[in-house]
A and B are shown apart, each in its own frame.
Chain A
Amino acid sequence: MSNAHPVPFRAILRHVLLITGAALMLAPFIWMISTASKPQTEIFSSELHLIPHRFALMENLREAFAKANLLRFLLNGVIVTVSIFVLQVMVALPAAYALAKLRFLGRETLFALVLFGILIPPQATAIPVFLLLHKIGLLDSYAALVLPFTISVFGIFLMRQFFKTVPDDLVDAARMDGISEFGIVWRVMLPAAIPAVTAFGIFSVVAHWNDYFWPLIVLNSEHLRTPPLAVAHFRNNEAGTSYGPLMAAAMVIIAPLVIAFLFAQRRFIEGITLTGIK
């Protein structure tokens, strides 16, 4: 039996499984869009329906933008995530180059420490870092949001693995041509590692754009708030939670990520599979 239609049957099974998985993943997302499009009365009605009877997305968006300075929060998000990513690259690339291509005493130990660092969750170091920032008086500033994340052990590890695949001869040729060691990092390794840097960039940006924990701890001032904090603000309103505008705001803050992903999809997958250079 399975001999007659082996391919269609298996393909159907596979697709059913995948579609079920995808639907489960997408459900909250779709529910968010649905809620964002409903007027307050429908949200609290006892019947569950996906398509709103009255389409209220625009109203909710208007209210969201009116209640909070969403643009400012989006800008904060951009400033913070871009700064973090740029600084992470500036630290991770030279470090990864040293770990991958230079020979020095203690290299393996250092690399083991990097691997160990990946295991430590940020929450574990949150309090010491918080106290440190307090001591140097940086709490409640952009610096407090950016500085703790400039050294990404994951970034160092990822880039080091990628640099390992770059042939040694290329590094030696650069040395013969008179490029300095730092020059090699930026002029030879970085262009070769663009897919890996892109992949890392996506991880980094997504993680810090969506980070709720750390900004919540170090921020007080409203004007510094990052997008997730801003959304949470809707919930704490004394007037009761207004879910429609809340969901509309949530849509707004994840929109940049979704759009960026759609544009960089190819690169993203390239980077994840780390095909490397030939």
Chain B
Amino acid sequence: MAQIELSAIRKSFDGTDVLKGIDFHIADGEFISLVGPSGCGKSTLLRIIAGLEPQNSGEVHIDGRQVDGIRPSARNLAMVFQSYALYPHLSTFDNIAVPLRMRRLSAIERLPLLGALLPSRRAKERHIRADIEGIAEQLDITPLLRRKPGQLSGGQRQRVAVGRAMVREPLAFLFDEPLSNLDAKLRVHMRAELAELHSRLKATFVYVTHDQAEAMTMSSRIAVMMGGELIQAGTPAEIYNEPGDIRVAEFIGSPKINILPGRIRKDGGVDVLGTTLKLTCNAAAGDCRIGVRPERIELGTGPFSGTVVHLENLGAEAFVHLAVEGTGSRLIARLADVRHLPAMASPLAFGFASETVRMFDPAGKRIELRVEQAERVREPAHV
């Protein structure tokens, strides 16, 4: 339905830069999640796309048309707010009808008493009613159409807000943390519903969240924002496996990726916790940081040793917190088999495969690594 092109968007509030030059292309029909810690400017960026907030510089194009200075409603986007923002004095039906009435009825037809008498209004109202009933059917809110927002539960309000967005068939949907006011169980349920809605409508979704689980499970691409900059965008797997920046690596993934201090030698080898890894890099000698995901840590064998300081058994999986011997470092390992948990305070050897290592320079940028051939499990076929 629509592609959205952001170029060099900058925004400052009272002299502080909130967005520092965002360039981003959102393709037609994509489900983009904007994630990042609180205060990084996600909502501001969404509001700039919506037209609710003017940017200081930069351009927004929707379907190739520059929309800067165009009223929010004329951009033909729909937005679902964190607080749902339903009109408290209107019934569910009237709430969903507002965008349709504003578009389809003339100013005279909208007049409170006089308008209702016009025959043209009655014909249009019939269409509006039909449209709303269709939407209500899809969202399963038909029994709620006569209720006021105050009489709805959080999940129901959320659905009504989505209905109000859907009914006008916008070019794109903008969501600002729509699930964060729901309890955990309902959140998981609504996650599936929204993903399903996206595949049904095939519309462009821009979805702001600071919940990385939502971003990972629903989106076709994730854009990670930090401190007013968009630092990486890619599919959930790319963002998870190939983070370009240590902040991305740390933000995505739960529990957090393990970061260990390392050192790059002059010959390109890498030392971590007194052990030399079987990999090399081209970076200059000096300090670096090594990232290994908890599920990549193998317990029981390996060159490192630590002590179990804490155990978290979640039933299906367990997390083992280790204090690494001889250093202050702590790390977390995921254990898929909860039947064989190590004892508390017991010493434990551990290791990880070289190709699971992600390395970052002191500024946090990713450093490319070459895994030494000997480590490769499968040789590339030359024959």
A170 to B81, CA, bound (A): 9
Which residues does chain B contribute within 8 Å of A188, judged by CB atoms? Answer: 87
- Interface size, B (range): 20 to 34
Which residues does chain B contribute within 8 Å of A277, judged by CB atoms? Answer: 88
Which residues does chain B contribute within 8 Å of A174, judged by CB atoms? Answer: 87, 98
* B268 contacts partner chain A, Cβ-Cβ < 8 Å: no
Which residues does chain A contribute within 8 Å of B73, judged by CB atoms? Answer: 175-179
Which residues does chain B contribute within 8 Å of A192, judged by CB atoms? Answer: 88-89
* Cβ-defined partner of A170 (8 Å) among B52, B71, B85, B150: B85
Which residues does chain B contribute within 8 Å of A47, judged by CB atoms? Answer: none
Interface mask (A188-214 → B, CB under 8 Å = 1, otherwise 0): 100110100000000000000000000
| Complex contact A169–B102 (CB within 8 A) | no
A176 to B74, CA, bound (A): 8
**Closest A residue to B88 using CB positions:** A277
Interface centre among A169, A170, A174, A177 (most CB of B within 10 A): A177
* B290 contacts partner chain A, Cβ-Cβ < 8 Å: no
User: In the complex, which residues 162-176 of chain A have their Cβ closer than 8 Å to any Cβ of chain B?
Assistant: 167, 169-170, 172-176
Main secondary structure on A side of the interface with B: helix
* A278 contacts partner chain B, Cβ-Cβ < 8 Å: yes
* B40 contacts partner chain A, Cβ-Cβ < 8 Å: no
| Complex contact B102–A176 (CB within 8 A) | no
Query: Shortest CB–CB separation between residue B158 and chain A, in angstroms?
Result: 13
Query: Knowing A176-B50, A176-B72, A177-B73 touch, does A169 contact B81 (C-beta < 8 A)?
Result: yes
A100 to B272, CA, bound (A): 58
Which residues does chain A contribute within 8 Å of B78, judged by CB atoms? Answer: 176
| Complex contact A178–B99 (CB within 8 A) | yes
Which residues does chain A contribute within 8 Å of B47, judged by CB atoms? Answer: 172
Which residues does chain A contribute within 8 Å of B85, judged by CB atoms? Answer: 167, 169-170, 172-173
Query: Knowing A167-B85, A173-B85, A278-B150 touch, does A178 contact B102 (C-beta < 8 A)?
Result: yes
User: In the complex, which residues 71-86 of chain B have their Cβ closer than 8 Å to any Cβ of chain A?
Assistant: 71-73, 77-79, 81-86
A177 to B164, CA, bound (A): 9
Query: Shortest CB–CB separation between residue A237 and chain B, in angstroms?
Result: 48
* B103 contacts partner chain A, Cβ-Cβ < 8 Å: yes
**Closest B residue to A194 using CB positions:** B89
Which residues does chain A contribute within 8 Å of B103, judged by CB atoms? Answer: 178
**Closest A residue to B52 using CB positions:** A172
A192 to B73, CA, bound (A): 22
**Closest B residue to A177 using CB positions:** B99
Interface centre among A176, A194, A277 (most CB of B within 10 A): A176
**Closest B residue to A167 using CB positions:** B83
| Complex contact B102–A172 (CB within 8 A) | no
Which residues does chain B contribute within 8 Å of A167, judged by CB atoms? Answer: 83, 85
| Complex contact B79–A176 (CB within 8 A) | yes
Query: Knowing A188-B87, A191-B89, A278-B150 touch, does A172 contact B81 (C-beta < 8 A)?
Result: yes
Interface mask (B31-55 → A, CB under 8 Å = 1, otherwise 0): 0000000000000000100101000
**Closest A residue to B80 using CB positions:** A173
| Complex contact A175–B99 (CB within 8 A) | no
A231 to B88, CA, bound (A): 45
Which residues does chain A contribute within 8 Å of B99, judged by CB atoms? Answer: 176-178
**Closest B residue to A186 using CB positions:** B112
Query: Shortest CB–CB separation between residue A195 and chain B, in angstroms?
Result: 12
**Closest A residue to B87 using CB positions:** A188
Query: Shortest CB–CB separation between residue B174 and chain A, in angstroms?
Result: 9
Interface mask (B106-124 → A, CB under 8 Å = 1, otherwise 0): 0000000000000000000
Query: Shortest CB–CB separation between residue A251 and chain B, in angstroms?
Result: 37
| Complex contact A176–B89 (CB within 8 A) | no
A277 to B83, CA, bound (A): 13
**Closest B residue to A278 using CB positions:** B150
A194 to B79, CA, bound (A): 27
A172 to B102, CA, bound (A): 15
Interface mask (A267-278 → B, CB under 8 Å = 1, otherwise 0): 000000000011
Interface mask (A144-175 → B, CB under 8 Å = 1, otherwise 0): 00000000000000000000000101101111
Query: Shortest CB–CB separation between residue B88 and chain A, in angstroms?
Result: 5
A167 to B72, CA, bound (A): 18
A169 to B47, CA, bound (A): 11
Interface centre among A178, A188, A277, A278 (most CB of B within 10 A): A178
A179 to B72, CA, bound (A): 10
**Closest A residue to B79 using CB positions:** A176
A172 to B88, CA, bound (A): 14
Query: Shortest CB–CB separation between residue A36 and chain B, in angstroms?
Result: 42
A173 to B52, CA, bound (A): 9
Query: Shortest CB–CB separation between residue B114 and chain A, in angstroms?
Result: 15
| Complex contact A179–B150 (CB within 8 A) | no
Nearest first, the 5 A-B pairs at minimum CB distance are: A178-B73, A173-B85, A178-B102, A191-B89, A169-B85
Taking Cβ atoms with an 8 Å cutoff, the residues of A that contact B are 167, 169-170, 172-179, 188, 191-192, 194, 277-278
Sample 11 A-B pairs with CB under 8 A, ordered by A number.
Answer: A169-B82, A169-B84, A175-B71, A176-B50, A176-B72, A176-B78, A177-B73, A179-B98, A191-B87, A192-B89, A277-B88
A-B contact sample (7 more), CB < 8 A, given A169-B85, A174-B98: A170-B85, A170-B87, A173-B86, A176-B52, A179-B98, A188-B87, A191-B89
